[in-house]
Structure 1
Amino acid sequence: MYGLAIVIAAAGLTLASPGIGSAEAASAGPACSGRKVKTVAFATGELRIYKSRRYACAITVSKRPGVRQTMAVTIQARGSRTARDSGRFTYRAGPVTVYALNRCVRAHGSVGARNASTGWILC
């Protein structure tokens, strides 16, 4: 009886916890809400900026998905702090979101040693 409870609990944890491939499967869908307003391509990836009514969101996507490499994305609304996501990812960095109702935003993304920035946009 006790052994059966352990097996059932372990099976539940396996189903509830994300697997190695689930992050990659989730990355195939849309990462940010709103409409895409700008895409800045660079040698190793793309910086994508989305805007909904109140929020701006950014992601950096690698041109070589599946290869673990250093990536980063930042977004800042004018007068606010910067939101950042960085690390070693296989597909994308982000999403990062800031409150941007009636504010300009700027974003920066990098994959490996290459990067791109937008300057102030959506003003």
Structure 2
Amino acid sequence: MFDEVMGLLVNRATIRGTAGSGGRTGRGRAVRPLVLALTTALALLLGGVGATGAGAASVCAGRPAKTLTFGTGELRVYKTRSYACALAVAAKPGARRRMSVQIQPRGGRPVIDSGFFTRQAGPVTVHALNRCVRVSGTISGRTGSTGWILC
């Protein structure tokens, strides 16, 4: 979406700068570099915000369907019409520690995200239109799991 907005801004500025006299006026030549500089600055600003916020905002789409709390964190399950998504979130973010999250649709293979994370494992998403799913998450050796849910 960001790229579409930036492209629209640049296109509008180019059209406005060249409209009327085919771009041969001094005003059009002066406006175009200014607009390009402003859109570049805006892109860098928003790109920086998006880059830092991407890790923090990597949550699942859909509505919250189930939250399961266990000793070192919680397991969150989200559902859209045709997809289910899960993530394991640490109760106390901080040092890197082993985390994993797994979601499996009934009759399908599990999708797993495992590694050393500071805040969360996941999100992992599966196609679950008219299917139950089973979810489990582990943080620092403590596990939380559901049976078949979202049936």
Q: Under TM normalisation by the shorter chain, which class is it? A: 0.7 to 0.9
Give the TM-score normalised by the residue count of structure 2: 0.64
Count of matched residue positions in the alignment of Structure 1 and Structure 2 = 104
The one-letter amino acid paired with 1:83 is V
The one-letter amino acid paired with 2:69 is A
Q: Where in structure 1 do 4 or more consecutive aligned residues deviate above 4 Å?
A: none
Please point out which of 59, 66, 74 is paired with 2:87: 59
Q: Distance in 2 between matches of 1:90 and 1:30?
A: 14
Per-residue deviation, residues 64-120 of structure 1 (Å, max 9, x unmatched): 112210000000000000000000000000000000000000100010110100110
Greater fraction strand: 1
CA contact (8 A) 2:86 2:101 kept: yes
Q: Distance in 1 between matches of 2:116 and 2:148?
A: 27
Unaligned runs of 5+ in 1: 1-14
The one-letter amino acid paired with 1:68 is R
Give % identity: 58
CA contact (8 A) 1:107 1:118 kept: yes
Q: CA deviation at 1:26?
A: 2.4
Structure with greater contact order relative to length (CA < 8 Å, sep ≥ 6)? 1
* Structure 2 residue 60 is matched with structure 1 residue 32: yes
* Structure 2 residue 96 is matched with structure 1 residue 68: yes
Partner in structure 1 of residue 139 of structure 2:
111
Partner in structure 2 of residue 96 of structure 1:
124
Larger radius of gyration: 2
Q: Distance in 1 between matches of 2:149 and 2:93?
A: 28
Unaligned runs of 5+ in 2: 1-43
Greater fraction helix: 2
